[in-house]
Amino acid sequence: MDSLGRDLRFALRLIRRTPVLSIATVITLALGIGLNAGVFTVLSGLLLRPRVTVSPDSFVHLQPAYTGTNVPRLESPQFSTRDYLALRDRATTLGPVTAWTVRGTRIGETAPFRELTLLVSCGFFEVYGLDRFERGRGFRPEECAGRTAPVAIVSDEFWRRYLDADADILDKPLVVNGRPFTIVGVTPAAFSGRLRGEGVWIPYAWESAMTRGPSAFDDPGTAWLWVDGRLKPGVTSAAAVSELNVLMRQQDTLVPGRVSAVTVNNGALIYEPAARPVAMFVMPLVLGSVGLVLLIACGNVTLLLLSRAVARRREIGIRLAIGCSRGRLVQMLLTESVLLAALGIPLSLWLAWQAPGVMRRSFPMMPTYPMNPDTTVFSYLIAASLVAGLTAGMAPAIESLRQRLTPMLAGQEITRIGRRRGIRDVLIAAQIGMSLVLLAGTVLFLRGERAIALRDPAVDAPHVMLVTYEPPRETSAAIMPAMSARLQQLPGVRSIAYISGSGDASIYGDAPQLNVRGQLIEARRIVPITAVSASYFDVMREPMLQGRGFAGMIASQGGAAVSPLVISDALARLWWTNGSAIGAELEANDGRRFEVVGVVHADVAFSAGTADSVMAWALAPTAPASGTFFIRFDGDALTLQSAAHGVLRAMTPNAAAVPTTLAAADADLASRFMPFVKMVGSLGITAIVLALVGVYGVVSFAIGRRTREIGVRMALGATRFDIVRMVLSSSAPPIAAGIGAGLILLIPATVALTRVFEHAPVPLHPMDPVPYAAVAVLLAFVAFATMLVPAKRASGVPPSEALRTE
């Protein structure tokens, strides 16, 4: 401890003697560490922490698992209404218990918009720690049971954005799915119970008004409710699990053939089975990305410390000559670098504190998560600072001790070409490689955003109108053909098609596992299938690359029939590399069978596939219950928009969505994806700037050490071009090695990106080598341009001045 104290005091004196170098080192490390801590703060709040801000230690999320011969129909690991009520009324280890689920709804009357709405039971706001509303009140028991007029509660965010912050909002109607709900309360801003969307809560007894088809509320065979609760004081999670499993076994007697088991967790998103696989890739991917930025920053600091180590060669030599051990010197040098990292902790902590606000401003629709830094984040920051300090200081410490003692005492340095540059070359190669990975990610995301916004000109997206039709439950499905006929008669309409399905299903389709009939089950892969009308490809102006479309075909009836299927060219290349896919028979894991009748380019539709454009289209029924019309038209878009809206209002007033053009829909999706592009782009730009600063510093330092050699060469007849070429050629190997290493690092990064964005409606195409090659060429050009500045400066030094430097 005495030696550590002496090392700290000496390090502080050294920092005071070299303030510019020390400040640059502290700021560089603080930025890298703060960026890492900020991202970890956001990820911890999104994935790892309880989703409540009030007394999170007592909050529990109940998660069931069902086995046996009579497994309930599941939306995810959820409970039926009957099971929830049994747990709520009979569990003695739990205090308040609540159930909730999510439904996509239409909000508004004249120009409704889609919004995620929470259906909740009484007790929801108590479980989520709300004891006082900003305005109004919570739900009453009779309202939760559906025995009164329908009521709703909205969030402060929803109230301000959509209701103009109306001070008299209480007791006014909010039209949801065409039905008026009386607003009885407004929650405070940033309420942790705003789990989806911007915050609309409705009693769960009104589930039948939120969706088409049979009501789940009264069906004991449908598990549709997530259940949360609070542990009573002094009760452990293990005790609660034991009691809940006893109660569920009693419930199993009401469902012969069902075996239930219940676990509890803190409600973090990482515990959700649907989210866990993606989260296991997202966390390493995101933390690895910002970790690369920190490593690049550490590389720059290492280069700075290496340059200072050259000036301290005589000091190090004297210490060794008077008997100081090399291990003791390493401790002293590492103490200095760790102290520099520690001095940046306040700035790093400030950056981590700002990260949640940046995230919320970038994604205002994001639910409220407790993302403020906690002890876990602070521990992560301390650990990152320690590791960064040791990483940045290890190479200079080792390099300082590798020199021979006699030249060190004389203050001499070997400056011949290629000598004593191994560590610097490795650092530059590492920085270039890591920068290439991050820059390639930036280009991928930017290409994805551009691909959304700039559709194939042949489609003529400004002259394709989208009309989404999602009628109330009681509306007959036969109205779809009638509505299609009415829309066809509007002035300017040339042709019409539709996608079958409501809400997001009309965009993303279902995603079964498909494989070629007769192949091994292991060959299956998930393929999103969108149900479209027979005229769909004609309306979208997309010719078949192979085979034919659905024109003249009728949807197959019955589970045993083989349905026609059009697949993307990406899927055709995946399974039929040397032959035609036409006529091949596919089978799904749900028993459906398909025959491939056509192959089309992947970018044809307003529907999404996997990240590598694997997707398919099936023939929709002639009278679907709901869907989205695609209208090809001539003339003014606003005129047709008004006319189409009038048709909707006339035929089903409660389902009057606002039509929009395909170009506007593309632009909206691209704008929602843009925050991702900006975040990834900021990492890429930060990385490349840091790497280029490191390249410039190393080349400048090397030229400074070789000034006399350059003078000798010029005195012997070398031209300025020869000097520039010498400098560039001596620095080219680490640049080339870094680009090669970066391309190798891109292989696992590409696999991770493909897995994360497998079902995203964004055409990233991470397997496409073109952007990687372009980034490599660009990075090489910029790196050589950076080296050219000090090289030209060195070639302009007069030989007489260069020869006098030593």
**pLDDT given for residue 591 in this prediction:** 76
Distance CA(697)–CA(691), nearest Å, equals 10
* Strand duo 113-120 + 200-203: pairing: parallel
Coil, strand, or helix at residue 449?
Answer: helix
Q: What is the pLDDT of residue 502?
A: 55
In the chain, DSSP finds a helix count (H) and a strand count (E) of 24, 24
pLDDT of 721: 82
DSSP state of 657: P
Nearest residue to 81 (alpha-carbon basis) of 138, 123, 121, 39: 121
In angstroms and rounded to an integer, the radius of gyration of the C-alpha atoms of the chain is 33
Contact between 43 and 287 (Cβ < 8 Å): yes
Q: How far apart are CA 668 and CA 19, in angstroms?
A: 50
Question: How far is the C-alpha of 363 from the C-alpha of 402, rounded, in Å?
Answer: 52
Token duo for residue 758:
């497998």
More confident residue, 275 or 263: 263
DSSP 223: E
- The yes-or-no verdict on residue 249 having pLDDT over 70 is yes
Confidence of residue 549 (pLDDT cuts 50, 70, 90): confident
pLDDT surpasses 90 at 218: no
Concatenated DSSP letters for 21-88? HHHHHHHHHHHHHHHHHHHHHHHIIIIIS-S-SSSGGGEEEEEEEEEES-PPEESSS-B-HHHHHHHH
Backbone angles phi, psi at 359, to 5 degrees: -65, -45
pLDDT of residue 795: 75
pLDDT band at 71 (very low <50, low <70, confident <90, very high): confident
Picking from 273, 638, 666, 288, the residue whose alpha carbon sits closest to that of residue 459 is 666
The larger pLDDT score, comparing residue 32 to residue 187, is at 187
Q: Is 416 helix (H, G, I), strand (E, B) or coil?
A: coil
pLDDT at 605: 46
Q: How distant, in Å, are the alpha carbons of 464, 537, 556, 641, 729 from that of 648?
A: 17, 24, 29, 11, 70
d(CA 160, CA 168): 13
- More confident position, 41 or 417: 41
pLDDT digits (tens, 9 = 90+) for 3-57: 778 878 877 887 887 787 788 888 888 888 988 888 888 888 888 888 888 888 9
pLDDT, residue 414, reads 44
Pick from 315, 298, 384, 310: nearest CA to 345: 384
CA distance 643 to 4: 80
Backbone angles phi, psi at 532, to 5 degrees: -130, 160
pLDDT reading at 403 higher than 70? no
Q: Which of 124-138, 200-214, 350-364, 382-396 has the highest mean pLDDT?
A: 124-138
Contact 600, 569 (CB under 8 A): yes
Q: Per-residue pLDDT averaged across 234-255, rounded?
A: 93
What does each C-alpha distance from 1 to 6, 82, 584 come to in angstroms? Answer: 9, 65, 75
Neighbouring C-alpha atoms within 13 Å toward the C-beta of 183: 25
- Read off φ and ψ for residue 194, nearest 5 degrees: -85, 80
Please, which residues bridge with residue 585 across strands?
595
- Where b means 16+ CB within 10 Å and e means fewer, 302-322 reads bbbbbbbbbebbeebbebbee
Q: How many CB atoms lie within 10 A of CB 89?
A: 9
Report the percentage of the chain scoring pLDDT > 70: 83
The more confident residue out of 490 and 403 is: 490
Average pLDDT over residues 537-564: 79
Average pLDDT over residues 283-306: 81
Q: Would the pTM count as exceeding 0.85?
A: no
* Environment class of 755 (CB within 10 Å of its CB; exposed 0-12, middle 13-18, buried 19+): middle
Strongest mean pLDDT among 161-175, 277-291, 462-476, 521-535 = 161-175
Q: How many CB atoms lie within 10 A of CB 274?
A: 11
Closest C-alpha to 212, from 75, 105, 99:
105
Q: What is the pLDDT of residues 653-662, one digit of tens each?
A: 666 567 888 8
Q: CA–CA separation, 477 vs 386, rounded Å?
A: 65
Quickly state the pLDDT bin for 246 (edges 50, 70, 90).
very high
- Which is more confidently placed, 22 or 520? 22
Mean per-residue pLDDT over the chain, rounded: 81
Q: What is the distance between the alpha carbons of residues 662 and 637, in angstroms, rounded to a whole number?
A: 11
* Cβ-based neighbour number of residue 180 at 10 Å: 14
Instruction: Quickly tell me which residue has 């088809």 as its tokens.
Output: 213
- The CB density around residue 628, as the number of other CB atoms within 10 Å, is 25
Measured between alpha carbons, how far is 564 from 593 in angstroms, rounded to an integer? 9
Please tell me whether residue 515 adopts helix, strand or coil conformation.
strand
Strand partners, 632: 464, 495
Angle between the N-to-C axes of helices 662-705 and 19-43, in degrees from 0 to 180, rounded to the nearest 10: 150
pLDDT at 709 over 90: no
Closest of 221, 251, 296 to residue 33, by C-alpha? 296
Among 674, 671, 726, smallest CA distance to 699 is for 726
The most confident of the ranges 109-123, 185-199, 410-424, 466-480 is: 185-199
In the chain, the amino acid numbered 82 is R
More confident residue, 612 or 236: 236
- Whole-angstrom CA distances from 86 to 95, 525, 535 are 14, 40, 51
- Those residues whose C-beta lies under 8 Å from the C-beta of residue 783, and which sit 6 or more positions away, are 432, 691, 692, 695, 735
Rounded CA gap, 206 and 177, in Å? 11
What is the phi/psi pair of residue 498, to 5°?
-150, 155
Dihedral (CA of 550, 554, 558, 561) sign: negative
Q: Give the Cα separation of 620 and 304 in Å (integer).
A: 65
Per-residue pLDDT band for 494 (boundaries 50, 70, 90) equals very high
Q: Can you give the pLDDT at residue 725?
A: 83
C-alpha 91, offset from chain centre: 38
Q: List beta partners, residue 244.
A: none
Determine the pLDDT at residue 154: 95
Quick check: 396 and 688 in contact, CB under 8 A? no
Amino acid at 415: T
* 699 and 790 Cβ atoms separated by less than 8 Å: yes
| Domain range summary for the chain, segments of one domain joined by + | 1-49+277-413, 56-267, 471-656
Q: Residue 8 and residue 662: Cα distance in Å, rounded?
A: 65
Distance CA 75, CA 102 (A): 11
Phi/psi-derived region of residue 394, left when phi > 0, alpha when psi is between -120 and 50, beta in every other case: alpha
Residue 197's pLDDT is 81
Residue entry with tokens 């060669």: 313
Higher pLDDT, 160 or 106: 160
Q: How far is CA 410 from the centre of its chain?
A: 56
- Cβ atoms of 498 and 630 within 8 Å: the answer is yes
Convert the pLDDT of each residue in 117-173 to its tens digit.
Answer: 999 999 999 999 998 999 999 999 999 988 889 999 999 999 998 898 999 999 999
Q: How far apart are CA 114 and CA 737, in angstroms?
A: 51
Whether residue 477 has pLDDT greater than 70: no
CB 392 within 8 A of CB 335: no
Who wins on pLDDT, 387 or 516?
A: 387
